[in-house]
Amino acid sequence: TPVLQLADLSHVYVNEKGAALVLEGLQLSLSRGEFLSLVGPSGCGKTTVLNLLAGLFPPTMGRVMLGGETVTGPSPKVGYMLQQDYLFPWRSIRDNAAIGLEINGTKTRASMEAVDEVLSELGLGGYGSRYPHELSGGMRQRVALARTLVTEPELLLLDEPFSALDLHIKLQLEELVQRTLKRLSKTAVLVTHDLAEAAAMSDRVIVMGRNPGRFRSELVVPEEIR
Ligand code: ADP
Ligand code: ADP
């Protein structure tokens, strides 16, 4: 079974100003460990796709299936990493990284050991008892990644997670994230407006256009480019 399947997904936003068709007939299937990027201009519907994958609202038409089951709402099987880290300033790095475990009710001595392990794998071994203000932007994004990974999601959604970073930190982090997700065989969908970033990180790229039906151009990124 594919980890993720989109079957003829369409979405229309309706409000007092009228109705806007944003997605039309999106089909997609991702197997375990595959990394997909969605690229396209602002307003083309990238965030809408991620929000549908996260089950934040239902699609107007079609289905999102995760592990063969139709998504009907938010689930701990999906992890989200955003442009901002949203760390709690009054919590230590370790307790920030563990927050998803608390929310899911799976925080135990063993899962806290896993938190420490993930933090060290991401080069933050010595920082567990520090606080967010003591870390650089790139380090805080690594904490945000750790926080997502420790809940062991089946699908990771990455919404412009590098776009607020300086160029060389951004490149370093892209490499670290790509390597870590491959090693853990995580299935991921990245939204970015940076085609170089998409090519460097993904197995496949879907280029979305302003016109809702125009997102079928799909590229398979050759190994040597990644
Ligand atoms: P543009 O103005 O370049 O067409 P937009 O991203 O503003 O691009 O809008 C794309 C389409 O979505 C337009 O048809 C617009 O009317 C519609 N749209 C944008 N925002 C909303 C909104 N908040 N509610 C309803 N329709 C919207
Ligand atoms: P992107 O992430 O590619 O910038 P979005 O998915 O955020 O695009 O938005 C796609 C289109 O849908 C835009 O035209 C946007 O204005 C419109 N839109 C997004 N959210 C809403 C909403 N809640 N209500 C109405 N229109 C929306």
pLDDT averaged per 10 residues, the chain (length 226): 94 91 92 95 91 96 96 94 95 97 93 96 96 97 96 96 93 94 96 92 90 65 71
pTM value is 0.85
Tell me which residue has its CA closest to atom 11 in ligand 2: 43
Measured in Å, residue 42 CA sits from the centre of ligand 1 at 11
Q: Check if the beta carbon of residue 147 is closer than 8 Å to that of residue 96.
A: yes
C-alpha 60, offset from chain centre: 22
Measured in Å, residue 20 CA sits from the centre of ligand 1 at 7
ipTM confidence score: 0.66
The reported pLDDT for the residue numbered 220 is 74
Q: Does the beta carbon of 43 lie inside 6 Å of ligand 1?
A: yes
| CA–CA dist 210, 165 (Å, integer) | 27
Strands of 35-39's sheet in order across = 78-81, 155-159, 187-192, 35-39, 204-207, 218-220
Tell me which residue has its CA closest to atom 17 in ligand 1: 20
Other CB atoms within a 10 A radius of the CB of residue 154 amount to 16
